[in-house]
Chain A
Amino acid sequence: MPDNTSGEPMEFFIDMQRCIGCNACEMACAECETNGQESMIHIHYVDRPFSVQTTVQVCMHCEEPACANVCPADAITLGADGIVHTAKTSHCIGCSNCVLACPFGVPKKSDTKELMMKCNMCYDRTSVGKKPMCATVCPSQALYFGTRTEIAEKRPNSIPVNHFGFGNENVKTKVNIMMPKGYSFLKVK
């Protein structure tokens, strides 16, 4: 059974303010085993001695994915539905170009597998209307997967943003970050 029957598409909304660093998402991702016990979502402390603030990193699924653009082996593809797929094992040569190119620091190169690995928004689940594993376990709902209507109702004080600025580069993504009301753009310094 799909998790949503309204007809409105479901999207990913991430609110780092809510994250409590419980790592449940990492465990769920790893336990799912699609990626061989490795988590494709990463939780990091910003600066542990000074704050318990954590960051949550999944692939943002860029409209113009730098990772795919720099891949010399055409291993990374962008699907018609906006999902940027993880490197095809048959193509990936483990050059790490994508690792260096991604503005969000998402892909990781697995040294043992000589392969780039990254989150594909649980394509096996989301393509059939289910939520990604991480979003199903997040107790603070820092990771929310649902419709725009739902998020507007549930979070009256914040707004989804999917426009980011890195220096002179602007990036638009499929995944949304929740910001306080009034913002529409996030400049990353």
Chain B
Amino acid sequence: MAMLSGVSLTNEKSYMVGKFARLALKTANLDYNGRLCMVSAGAGNKKAFGLDRSSNSWEDLKHAEVILIAGANVSETFPTLIHYIWEARDHGAKLIVVDPRVTPIARTADIFLPVRPGTDSALFGAMLKVLADNDWLDHEFIEKHTSGFEDTLDAVKDYTLEWAEEITGVPAHRILEAATLWGKAATSFLMHARGIEHHTKGVDNVLGCINLVLATGRIGKPYCGYGTITGQGNGQGGREHGHKCDQLPGNRDITNPEHRQYIAKVWGVEEKEIPGKGLSAFEIIDAIHRDEIKGLISICFNPLVSLPNSNYVRAALEKLEYFVAIDFFLSETAHHADIVMAGSLHEEEEGTVTTAEGRVVRIRAAVTPPGKARKDSDIIMELAKRLGAEDKFTYADSEAVFNELRVASKGGTADYYGITYKKIEDNMGIFWPCPTEDHPGTPRLWEDFQFKTPDGKAHFNPVPYRESAEVPDEQFPVRLTTGRVVSQYLSGTQTRRIGKLVDQSPYPQLEIHPELAAKYGITTGDLVRVHTRRPRLNSRLWLWKPFVPTPYSYPITGAEKWRLTSSPTVRSTPFPKFPNLKPPLVS
């Protein structure tokens, strides 16, 4: 048996699913769709800081001198963040954007660094070297509060600007300009998202960014911050409370005996009744193919659309002996289920979510589930009852679930114990960690410079540059990267039902630089077929000059913006099991 879950669930539902899979289904194999999303960021953050949360409230962003955004098409994927960025810029902040494409926010940047897909860590390495060469370093901070600086510097000692230009395609003088702006600033905020994280070396890219922040000591102070931008409705809270294959509530480790003991006590079971570490999302699909998993329950996850290689996923779903899908609409995945249970939308149940800033906020039930649809939590409780675990799922309402979650998270790194519904209400949300009821919460982390790593220091991590899992060759000479459109959300289960949103981007589009298009003799509106090492894609073409601002040197970048289609690759990294979504190659 296995279960798949999703990060658009509220904190309460995420917590319930984690407990349900372990105690009612009695399976270790529970994982979530965040596996396709932010795990690289989470892993990088844990390595460097021992904690996975944006370091600051975005209020700090409004007063930063320099803002660096890497691999984040925030205008299409997080429009509400733009307001903070513009407010900072109205007061003189400078904006640096790293992206292979001129996204709408990149268009307005003071310095735009158009990297070749997959070369981000070379750029960050060269910037770090500029900081060191010019002594734009915070020696006191590095000395007292960090470790690993020497080795990290050593790893970039040969990364000259010229070398970086060669690798990344960004002109050396622009890299220098950006590093100078970053180096000389008194306050700064760095943010990144899937653009640098969706790689087999996503963790390298994340650590490359963190190294720039640590070298200048601009963290834990007013207007100095760092954070990854979450993807889903509850991208932050949904990865903290135990519906990941290796996690227990409060961001606890399922392999840690003390953590297991504690949660066993909260759940009123023996420690050995909690299964160990299970398979990750894609491994579950593999295990279905190997006949090791025969039954599956999914909630809030549309793997047929969001996991790479939809043919492979479809075959797995068809192979299952028993498949139950809980979803609010009949998604592509739910079509393959033996039983579909009509669940609830965000707007149909009370609860909390944790924002990209780490702020826990309330979600309200505005409407009740229509017809025979039921609240997700009711469905889970009913299933638990039928599986003989009724006594573990006796919640009167979402607040009762939250109160149990508070206790379960107590003492963990994501400590919610001091957060109550009332406090959230009275304070426009509360930032975790919040260990006691009289604690105000923590909008800005690390003000005491006590990091959550074993030695209490922030860790620099050496990032020697390595090539992407695939590099252009004769057979596949063109890089393909993926992007999102503003009108579609996640796998589109909700947004592809709304006519006006569909009208905005009715089909997947391939965007390509005019010079490359000329080479292939194709133009805007043509139907093109793209061959990759994976299944081929059919798409309409858009000429798209803003890809490569120095088009004469390497007009080989192509990009695909798809609403939905079979996704290109299935290669996984050993850690953190992230498939190589960017950048596959095409011919």
How far in angstroms is the closest Cβ of chain B from A138?
A: 9
Choose, from A15-23, A106-114, A161-169, the stretch at the interface.
Answer: A15-23
Query: Cβ of B80 < 8 Å from any Cβ of A?
Result: yes
Contact B90 A156 (CB under 8 A): yes
Contact A20 B105 (CB under 8 A): yes
Give Cα A121–Cα B22 distance, bound, in whole angstroms. 56
Query: Cβ of B75 < 8 Å from any Cβ of A?
Result: yes
Scan B507-538; emit 1 where CB is below 8 A from any A CB, else 0: 00000001000000000100000000000000
Contact A140 B76 (CB under 8 A): no
Q: Which of A26, A140, A154, A155 counts the most B-chain CB atoms under 10 A from its CB?
A: A140
How far in angstroms is the closest Cβ of chain A from B299?
A: 28
How far in angstroms is the closest Cβ of chain A from B26?
A: 45
Q: A140-B83, A157-B90 are in contact. Are A52 and B546 (CB under 8 A)?
A: yes
Contact A52 B90 (CB under 8 A): no
Query: Cβ of B86 < 8 Å from any Cβ of A?
Result: yes
Q: Hey, which chain A residues are within 8 Å of B335, CB to CB?
A: none
Q: Hey, which chain B residues are within 8 Å of A30, CB to CB?
A: 500
Q: Hey, which chain B residues are within 8 Å of A50, CB to CB?
A: 545-546
Contact B542 A51 (CB under 8 A): no
Give Cα A30–Cα B75 distance, bound, in whole angstroms. 21
Nearest chain B residue, comparing its CB with the CB of A157: B90
Query: Cβ of B251 < 8 Å from any Cβ of A?
Result: no
How far in angstroms is the closest Cβ of chain A from B433?
A: 29
Contact B107 A53 (CB under 8 A): yes
Q: 8 Å CB contacts to A: which residues of B46-87? A: 75-76, 79-83, 86-87
Scan B327-345; emit 1 where CB is below 8 A from any A CB, else 0: 0000000000000000000
Give Cα A17–Cα B75 distance, bound, in whole angstroms. 13
Contact A49 B524 (CB under 8 A): yes
Q: Hey, which chain A residues are within 8 Å of B453, CB to CB?
A: none
Contact B542 A21 (CB under 8 A): no
When the two chains form the complex, which single residue of A22, A26, A155, A157 contacts B79, counting CB atoms closer than 8 Å?
A22
Give Cα A23–Cα B486 distance, bound, in whole angstroms. 8
Give Cα A27–Cα B76 distance, bound, in whole angstroms. 15
Contact A17 B500 (CB under 8 A): no
Contact A22 B486 (CB under 8 A): yes
How far in angstroms is the closest Cβ of chain A from B539?
A: 16
Q: Which of A17, A22, A27, A155 counts the most B-chain CB atoms under 10 A from its CB?
A: A22
Query: Cβ of B104 < 8 Å from any Cβ of A?
Result: yes
Query: Cβ of B102 < 8 Å from any Cβ of A?
Result: yes
Scan B546-571; emit 1 where CB is below 8 A from any A CB, else 0: 10000000000000000000000000
Contact A49 B514 (CB under 8 A): yes
Query: Cβ of A189 < 8 Å from any Cβ of B?
Result: no
How far in angstroms is the closest Cβ of chain B from A160?
A: 14
Q: 8 Å CB contacts to B: which residues of A6-28? A: 17-24, 26-27
Query: Cβ of B25 < 8 Å from any Cβ of A?
Result: no
Q: A48-B542, A50-B545, A156-B91 are in contact. Are A17 and B79 (CB under 8 A)?
A: no
Q: A30-B500, A139-B79, A139-B83 are in contact. Are A20 and B104 (CB under 8 A)?
A: yes
Q: A21-B75, A22-B76, A49-B545 are in contact. Are A54 and B104 (CB under 8 A)?
A: yes
Contact B544 A49 (CB under 8 A): yes
Scan B346-374; emit 1 where CB is below 8 A from any A CB, else 0: 00000000000000000000000000000
Contact B90 A154 (CB under 8 A): yes
Scan B77-120; emit 1 where CB is below 8 A from any A CB, else 0: 00111110011001100000000001111011000000000000
Query: Cβ of B256 < 8 Å from any Cβ of A?
Result: no
How far in angstroms is the closest Cβ of chain B from A133?
A: 15
Query: Cβ of B487 < 8 Å from any Cβ of A?
Result: yes
Contact A141 B86 (CB under 8 A): yes
How far in angstroms is the closest Cβ of chain B from A30?
A: 6
When the two chains form the complex, which single residue of A18, A22, A23, A27 contacts B86, counting CB atoms closer than 8 Å?
A18
Contact A140 B544 (CB under 8 A): no
Q: Hey, which chain A residues are within 8 Å of B102, CB to CB?
A: 51-52
Nearest chain A residue, comparing its CB with the CB of B76: A22
Contact A52 B83 (CB under 8 A): no
Nearest chain B residue, comparing its CB with the CB of A53: B107
Nearest chain B residue, comparing its CB with the CB of A48: B542
Query: Cβ of B134 < 8 Å from any Cβ of A?
Result: no
Query: Cβ of B543 < 8 Å from any Cβ of A?
Result: yes
How far in angstroms is the closest Cβ of chain B from A144?
A: 11
How far in angstroms is the closest Cβ of chain A from B22?
A: 39
Q: Hey, which chain A residues are within 8 Å of B107, CB to CB?
A: 51-53
Give Cα A49–Cα B107 distance, bound, in whole angstroms. 13
Q: Hey, which chain B residues are within 8 Å of A140, CB to CB?
A: 75, 79, 82-83, 86
Give Cα A16–Cα B147 distance, bound, in whole angstroms. 46
How far in angstroms is the closest Cβ of chain B from A63?
A: 29
Known: A22-B79, A50-B545. 6 other contacts (CB 8 A): A17-B108, A27-B500, A49-B542, A52-B546, A140-B75, A156-B90
Chain B interface residues (CB < 8 Å from chain A): 75-76, 79-83, 86-87, 90-91, 102-105, 107-108, 486-487, 500-501, 504, 514, 524, 542-546
Across the A-B interface, the 7 shortest Cβ-Cβ residue pairs: A20-B75, A139-B79, A20-B104, A49-B543, A140-B82, A22-B79, A52-B104
Q: List 15 A-B contacts (CB under 8 A).
A: A19-B104, A20-B104, A22-B76, A22-B486, A23-B486, A26-B500, A27-B501, A48-B544, A49-B514, A49-B545, A50-B545, A139-B80, A140-B79, A140-B82, A154-B87
